[in-house]
Structure 1
Amino acid sequence: DVGQCSMHKLHFRQFVSLKDKSLKDTNCLKCNLCIEHCPTSAIEGPYKFDANKCLSNILQQKKPVPEEMLPIIGDRIYGCDTCQDVCPHNIDIKEMTAKEFRPMELYDRIDLTRLLQMSNKEFDFLFRENASGWIGKKALQRNAIIALGNSRDKNAIPHLEPLLRDIRPDIRKVTIWALYNIDPEIAVKLISGIRDSEKDRDVLKIIGRYLNSNNKK
C-alpha cells in the first residue's frame, strides 16, 4: 500500500499560560529531553511552550501549514508525541489492555491514498468515533498530502495528480509542494499543464516559484 502511517495521539488539547502557575510540586526531572527532541523547538525552555510552533497544534489548524514546517511534519497526520515519547516518566508505563483503550483496527494503520479519495459521507462514517475526525476532512487530507510528499514515494504521484485540480486552493498548493518534493522533474511537467487554467493568485505564485526554481538548476 502507498503511504500508510500510524495515527498519532494528541496530548496538547488545551494551551494555557504557565507564567503565573505554581510549579513547586512538579515531578519534572529537568533532563531537558523534551526540549532537545521537539521537532520544531516549540518547547523553548523549562515551562516555556510556543503553541504556534507545536506540530500537534499546526496539524489541527484549518489554515495553511507554514511551508517551512512541511518537511518537519514527516509522516504525521494528526498530533505529535515526541515530547511524550522521550519523557522518562513514560518509559516504564505499561500498555493498557482494557478494550476501551486499545486502538480500533481501522485507525491503527491509515491508507493515505484512500483518505485522499474519501467522500464526505464516507469520512463522517469512518471518523465520527475517532478524535481526529473533529478537525475535518480537509485538514486530514491536507496532512495526508504532506505525509505523502515527505515519503518521496513515486507511487503516490498518480493519487496526488488529480488534486492539482481540486476546488480547494489550499489543497492545490500543498499538492504542488508534495509532488515537487517527490520528483521535481515530474512535478514541473504536471504544474506546467495546469498553469494556464489556474485562477487563484496564490497558487499561481507557487507555480511560478517552482518553475523558476527548476529553470535555475
Structure 2
Amino acid sequence: MRMNRGLKQEIIDYSKEIGVDKIGFAAADPFVTLKERLRVQQEKGYVSGFEKGTLGERTTPELLLPEAKTVISIALAYPSKMKDAPRSVKGDRRGIFCRASWGEDYHHILRRKLNLLEEFIQKKVTGARSKSMVDTGELSDRAVAERAGIGWSGKNCAVITPEFGSYVYLGDLITTVPLEEDQPLEDQCGSCTKCIDACPTGALIQGGQLDATKCVAFLTQTKTMLPEKYRKKIGNRLYGCDTCQVVCPENKGKDFHHHPEMEPDPEVVKPRLEEVLSMSNKEFKKKFGHISGSWRGKKPIQRNAVIALGVFKEKSALPTLIKLLKEDPRPVIRGTAAWAIGEIEKSSETYQMLEASAETEKDEEVLSEIYSVLNNTQTTLRS
C-alpha cells in the first residue's frame, strides 16, 4: 500500500531546499528486463570490470535492503561550458578532463544530498531504513532514474532529462517507506543516431548498447599499455569522453551552473601536459585529488598525457619523452613514450637513440613498442 502523497511532497520540497535539481520515485521491484540486458552484456564481453555486485544485487533492491519499498532517484545538473578555458597551442599543449570530472568529485556532492534526504525521511517515519549509493553502488543509476521518471535512457547510454539534457549526476536512495511512484518518460531519441555515428571507437554498438571495453571513457582509465588502434582516438583526453553527449541534440544550449562546487578550475581540468608528466604522487594528489578523474591515480593520466603529445606531434616535448623512455621505472610509460617519440619525429637521430634504448631495455612489451617505431622510422628514412 502506497503512503499518502503528503510525505512524498514534503520530500520533494525538502530536496529543493538542499539543492537537488530533480527527484523521482520508483517501486523497489526487481529490474527484470535490465537483468537480461546485463546478462547479454556479460556474455558478449561488453563489461568494463568496474561493475559492482552480482546480477541479482544489481537488479533486485530488496537484496540490498530487506523490505525495500521505494527507490528514490535524484539528479544534479552540472556545467557543460567552462569560462576562461586556456588554449592548447603549439609549444604549450594541454589535455582535458571530461565534464563529469569538473569541480569537486560528484560522488561526495551527491552523497551529502542523499545523507540529508535519508535523515529527513528517518525523522518523518519512525523505524524507516534506507541505503543510498552513487555510481559505484550495485544498482544501475540509469535504470532507477528511468523508472522514476527522471529521464529516458538515450542511445548514448546516458539518462536524458527534458530540463538538463544528459548533463546530470545521478544518485539513488532505497527506502523501506512506501511512496507513490512516478511515471517513466517516453523515449524521445526517435530515429536520431548522432551519438552512435560520432563515437570515436564505435563503442556504441546500437542504440542503448555499449561495448564498455571500447569506450574512450573506459580506455582512459585503464592502467596497462593502450592498444595502438585506440591511441589516436583518445587525442588529448586525459580522463573520460564527452563526444556522445556533445553531439546530442537534446544537450544543445544546455549549460547549468547551479552548484558552485561543480565549477571547473581551468588549470586543473585543462592542464599542461608536460607539467602532468613531471608530477610526483604528492603533487598529483594536491592538484587533482579532489576531482573524480583522479580515482585511478596518476599512471593512467600520465600515460594519456604521453599519448596526447604524440597525437599533437609536439616537437618541443621530445626531450621530456626521451627522458621518460630512458628513466621512468614504469614499463607502460616507457613503452608509450617510445610510441609518442615515433609519432613526433622519424629521424636518424631518434633512430639511433631508440636503438640504444633497445639495448638496455628489459621489458618485452616496451621492446615491442621500440622495435615497431624503429621499423616505421627505417621505412620513412628509406623512402
TM-score (norm 2): 0.52
Q: Indicate which of 166, 169, 178 corresponds to 2:340.
A: 178
Provide the C-alpha distance between the structure 2 equivalents of 1:10 and 1:57, rounded to a whole number of angstroms. 13
Query: What does residue 80 of structure 1 align with?
Result: 241
2:300 equivalent to 1:139: yes
1:116 counterpart residue number = 277
**Does the C-alpha gap of structure 1 residues 99 and 42 become closer, same or farther in structure 2, counting only changes over 3 Å?**
same
**Identity over aligned residues, as a percent?**
35
TM superposition shift of 1:63: 2.1
Aligned to 2:256: 95
Amino acid at match of 1:204: L
| Matching residue's letter, 2:342 | Y
Q: Which structure features the higher share of helix residues? A: 1
Counterpart of 1:206 in structure 2 is 369
Structure 1 residue corresponding to 2:198, chosen from 37, 48, 51: 37
- Of 66, 90, 94, which aligns to 1:4? 94
How many residues get paired? 214
- The aligned amino acid for 2:201 is T
Give CA-to-partner distance per residue, 1:61-105, whole Å, 9 cap, x none.
112211110111111111110000011111021331542221024
Q: Using a 3 Å threshold, how does the CA distance of structure 1 residues 107 and 212 change in structure 2: closer, same or farther?
A: same
Tell whether the 8 Å contact from 1:2 to 1:156 is kept in structure 2 after alignment. no
TM-score of the superposition, structure 1-length normalised? 0.89
Cα deviations across residues 11-45 of structure 1 (Å, max 9, x unaligned)? 9x6796x9xx9878323233100011001111111
Per-residue deviation at 1:191?
1.1
Q: Deviations over 1:185-206 (max 9, x none)?
A: 2532321221211111222222
Is the strand fraction higher in 1 or 2?
A: 2
CA RMSD of aligned residues (A): 2.5
Alpha-carbon distance in structure 1 between the residues aligned to 2:324 and 2:206: 40
When residues 9 and 194 of structure 1 are mapped into structure 2, their CA distance, relative to the original with a 3 A threshold, is: same
Is the Cα–Cα contact under 8 Å of residues 336 and 369 in structure 2 kept in the other structure?
Answer: no
- SS at 1:135 equivalent: coil
Contact 2:339 2:370 survives alignment (8 Å)? no
Letter in 2 for 1:175: A
Closer/same/farther in 2, CA of residues 32 and 4 from structure 1, 3 Å limit: same
Question: For residues 273 and 331 of structure 2, what CA distance do their matches in structure 1 show?
Answer: 20
Structure 1 CA distance for aligned equivalents of residues 96 and 377 of structure 2:
33
What is residue 193 of structure 1 aligned with on the other side? Answer: 356
Kindly state the Cα deviation for residue 157 of structure 1 after the two structures are TM-superposed.
0.7
Say which is worse superposed, 86-95 or 141-150, in terms of deviation: 86-95
Cα gap change, 1:131/1:187 in structure 2, threshold over 3 Å: closer, same or farther?
Answer: farther
Q: Is 2:196 the counterpart of 1:106? A: no
- Return 5+ residue gaps in structure 2 as ranges: 1-90, 102-134, 148-152, 154-184
